[in-house]
Amino acid sequence: MNEIVQPSSFDVEAARSHADAREAQFRAVKLPSDHPQVKAGRLGVLIMNLGTPEATSYWPMRAYLKEFLSDKRVIETPRWLWWPILNLIILQTRPKKKGRDYDLIWNKERNEGPLKTITRSQAEQAQAHLKQIAGDRVVVDWAMRYGQPAVKPALENLLAQGCDRILLVPMYPQYSAATSATACDKAFEALMTMRWQPSVRVAPPYHDDPVYIDALADSMRKELAKLDFEPEMILTSFHGVPRKYLLQGDPYHCQCAKTSRLLRETLGWPKERWMLTFQSRFGPDEWLQPYTDETVKGLAEKGVKRLAIVAPGFSADCLETLEELDGENREIFEHNGGEKFAYLPCLNDSEEGMRVIDHVVARELQGWL
């Protein structure tokens, strides 16, 4: 297992010294008395995830689904064809159904979806970690591509705090135009409206990063040790995309396959007891196969009694993992003869999950910090 190298005391002191010198440089500049206030010299980190509705009732669900399904990166169907399907059919019925699904996993204490709860915690923990290294020089914020908190206000907040260099961190280990690219699109749209644009970096996908693979393996070992059974089969389930995206050059399928393979090899799990599947298909088009739900049904029908599913492509548990995998697919398995089923949680804001986020952020801030 690869060891994570923590910054030495010398590195920390050097970073703080550099930060102090940079701030002192700005303080030393003599501005005219009527000059607008200038804040600069700090670094921003913006953690971005997909999104979640503001409530589970019809209108909040409809607003969320409309924004999500109107994205041309997500649905590439020509607008003249897609607009009536979306507005006259899908948005009339789907908000109620999805609202009921969200009700099953809703964080009642905070009155929000679990994705929002977890992403906020990830940002707060990343901020605390960076504070130990660089004091107050680095500011961490978080945003959702769809819904709230939105990307543009988050970027404006970082600028207002003097962040003239910002690292965008799409929380998708595997790149896809429908996830990583559309999150960056939203950030770039906001930058286009700014008079003083910050310098920007985008953290690349980390599907084969040893720190990520080792964190997944460590998390899985912990969760498997809690079970009262040993799975006959493990499924690594990734969110699906239409197959045509692969044929048009999207690297997502290949990166999912590599993550799954590296994870299996790290755990030393036999090939014949490990499968790669894709979930959450939508519409009539062919999506990446094999499909998770059909695979679960087929395994149960063939006599597999003990099954575990993990979702390495999700950085935080959400509707697709908690309701679809742990709910719908559990029911499919048990209804067709399966006996023991386990969903293994995402990395979330766990020790393993934060190890990955801290590693990616520290790596991508090199040269700035």
> What beta strand segments (E) does 229-365 contain?
233-239, 274-279, 306-310, 340-344
Q: Is the pLDDT score of 267 beyond 50?
A: yes
What distance in Å separates the CA atoms of residue 198 and residue 192, rounded to the nearest whole number?
11
Mean pLDDT, rounded, of the chain: 93
Cβ atoms of residues 324 and 280 within 8 Å: yes
What mean pLDDT comes out for the span 199-225?
98
Q: Which two tokens stand for residue 26?
A: 């700005």
Q: Which residues are registered as beta bridge partners of 275? A: 235
Q: 4 pLDDT exceeds 60?
A: no
Q: Higher-confidence residue: 38 or 112?
A: 112
For residue 301, what pLDDT is reported?
Answer: 98
Of all residues in the chain, the percent with pLDDT exceeding 90 is 87
d(CA 233, CA 235): 7
Q: Which residue has the higher pLDDT, 25 or 288?
A: 288
Sequence ranges of the domains in the chain: 55-105, 210-344
Q: What integer pLDDT is reported at residue 284 of this predicted model? A: 86
Model pLDDT, residue 369: 85
Confidence (pLDDT) at 3: 46
With beta carbons less than 8 A apart as the criterion, state whether 345 and 227 touch.
no
Q: Please give the structure tokens belonging to residue 297.
A: 């049904």
The position carrying tokens 């002192």 is 24
- Residue 258 pLDDT: 98
pLDDT of residue 17: 64
Angle at alpha carbon of residue 20, lines to 18 and 26, rounded to 5°: 105
| CATH code for the structural domain at 210-344 | 3.40.50.1400
What is the rounded radius of gyration, in angstroms, for the C-alpha atoms of the chain?
Answer: 22
- Give the C-alpha distances (Å, rounded to integers) separating 74 from 110, 175, 176, 178, 357: 29, 13, 10, 5, 25
pLDDT, average across residues 50-61: 97
**Distance between CA atoms of 274 and 263, rounded to whole angstroms?**
10
- Rounded mean pLDDT of 336-347? 98
More confident residue, 20 or 162: 162
CA distance readout (Å), 206 to 54, 105, 150, 251:
29, 28, 24, 13
State residue 15 phi and psi, 5-degree precision: -65, -45
**pLDDT the model gives residue 39:** 75
Contact 174, 259 (CB under 8 A): yes
Whose structure tokens read 């290294």?
133
Q: Is the dihedral of CA 256, 260, 266, 271 positive or negative?
A: negative
Mean pLDDT of 69-86: 94
Confirm or deny that 189 is annotated as ligand binding.
no
Q: Give the whole-angstrom CA distance, residue 100 versus residue 110.
A: 18
Measure the CA–CA gap between 137 and 161, rounded to whole angstroms.
Answer: 10
Residue 239 assigned as binding residue: yes
Provide DSSP, 285-304.
S-BSSSBHHHHHHHHHHTT-
Mean per-residue pLDDT, 173-193? 97
Q: Average pLDDT, stretch 54-68? A: 97
3-state secondary structure of 112: strand
pLDDT band for 143, please (50, 70, 90 cuts): very high
Identify residue 263 by its one-letter amino acid code. L
Q: Average pLDDT in the 163-175 region? A: 98
Segment (H or E) for 47: strand 42-52
CA distance 60 to 261: 39
Judge whether 299 and 158 are in contact, CB under 8 Å. no
